[in-house]
Amino acid sequence: MVAGPSDAPHGLKQMLSRGRFLALVGAAGSLALAGCGGSGEGDTILVGEFASLTGKEATFGISSHEGTLLAIEEMNAAGGVLGKKLELKTEDDQSKAGEPANVVNKLISKDGVVAILGEVASSRSMEAAPICQQSNIPMISPASTNPKVTETGDYIFRVCFIDPFQGTVMANFATNTLKAKKVAVFTDVKSDYSKGLAKFFKEGIAKAGGAVVSELDFNGGDKDFKGQLTAIKNAAPDAVFVPGYYTDVALIAIQAKQLGLGVPLIGGDGWESDTLVKIGGDAVEGHYFSTHYASDAASPKVTAFVDAYKKRYNGKVPDAMAALGYDSAMFLADAIKRAGSTEGPALRDALAATKEFDAVTGKMSMSPQRDAIKSAVIMQVKEGKFKFVETVAP
Ligand code: PHE
């Protein structure tokens, strides 16, 4: 019998932090579960997912979850995988540091999942990755683009491109398309994603012959950016790179507009949420960002996905995180089929061997570092919608 946290001896609970306590419970749990349904030997194949279903980046977690669930339902309707139905066990990490470790420990050790899908945010994927690696459980991030995520080890994969590419794409766009000679960079120092993307963007600008005339920081969740934005305005850049998350970016755009900073703001995939427009309104109009796919792309694969998603979720148009969630589950199932097994090492080898996989977000192959090699798209905010500008191949 697996002891739950409430069964713990009083003293033990007080001595251990919640994370360490769950890790201990987990170790016992995996023994107890070996050989039963959750480990893939029963009637279903249990797949774990952790996502920010609530909290600061909730739209990302909800989107990736909805995409993932749709993929699982479609596969089950088509008969499942290896003759078994897939079962998705989802945990909410509340967009909070500390929670990914807790919930992923639980999914692996208590529930006995065969693989983990998640997270969107790089900082949270980096928290969970060592746990998956140590447990020989493959982890597939749908949308974490910081290079460090997969550097954790050979069980950690992603179905998205990485930020050295994304940063270069936006540096070239600023230089070649916007003709910006001087740029400013405004970084969220609380986010691994933001810090990494800012660094790669600056390297790209240097290579393209541009100048970074102002570099300033903020902390994700801040509400007043006027001091930094005034300093940025005084440096007179032609464009400002803001590798932030949609909630912060929307407030930054509003305050930039109030201060009369009339140059394009540009960013990355952290911008792509309807909430950007809901909060930012007029202030985000005309600005640009890079992301993973465009829902209005003229590809049969995209159209089929968009139609199925709208049907399943009351007409909602799937964003990039939804498409990547869908792709992460499809990528896993494809590898399970090729491996003919859900055992960690066999599954890891099959995932690593993926070539030219036909994903909604584009054809993708795994690099030796277990990162997807694929194109990025650039979008512009126009009349409150995201309009496709161009595709950039790797
Ligand atoms: N690619 C981003 C990351 O790796 C996605 C993201 C951006 C997630 C912003 C949350 C917030 O973190």
Query: How confident is the chain (394 residues) per 10-residue block, as mean pLDDT?
Result: 36 40 40 40 90 96 98 98 98 98 98 98 98 98 98 98 98 97 98 97 97 98 98 98 97 98 98 97 98 92 97 97 98 98 98 97 96 96 96 92
* Structural contact between residues 264 and 288, judged by C-beta atoms closer than 8 angstroms: yes
Alpha-carbon span 164 to 298, nearest angstrom: 27
Q: Which of 62, 93, 120, 145 to mutate to test the pocket of ligand 1 (most atoms within 8 A of CB)?
A: 120
Point out the ligand 1 atom lying closest to the alpha carbon of residue 321: 5
Of all protein residues, whose CA lies closest to atom 7 belonging to ligand 1?
A: 270
Pick from 217, 247, 222: nearest CA to 232: 217
Point out the ligand 1 atom lying closest to the alpha carbon of residue 146: 4
Task: End-to-end CA distance of the chain: give it in Å, rounded.
Answer: 50
Alpha-carbon span 200 to 165, nearest angstrom: 8
* Structural contact between residues 171 and 222, judged by C-beta atoms closer than 8 angstroms: no
Alpha-carbon span 123 to 270, nearest angstrom: 13
CA of 341 to the centre of ligand 1 (A): 31
Point out the ligand 1 atom lying closest to the alpha carbon of residue 52: 10
Q: Which of 54, 170, 269, 276 to mutate to test the pocket of ligand 1 (most atoms within 8 A of CB)?
A: 269
Q: Which of 123, 139, 145, 148 to mutate to test the pocket of ligand 1 (most atoms within 8 A of CB)?
A: 145
* Structural contact between residues 171 and 201, judged by C-beta atoms closer than 8 angstroms: yes
Point out the ligand 1 atom lying closest to the alpha carbon of residue 191: 12
CA of 35 to the centre of ligand 1 (A): 36
The CA angle 79-82-87, to the nearest 5 degrees, is 65
pLDDT tens-place string over residues 98-138: 999 999 999 999 999 999 999 999 999 999 999 999 999 99
CA of 302 to the centre of ligand 1 (A): 22
Q: What is the pLDDT of residue 362?
A: 94
Q: Which of 53, 64, 96, 122 to mutate to test the pocket of ligand 1 (most atoms within 8 A of CB)?
A: 122
Stated as kind and residue range, the H or E segment containing 362 is strand 362-366
Ligand 1 pocket, CB under 6 A:
57, 60, 120-122, 143-146, 193, 245, 269-270
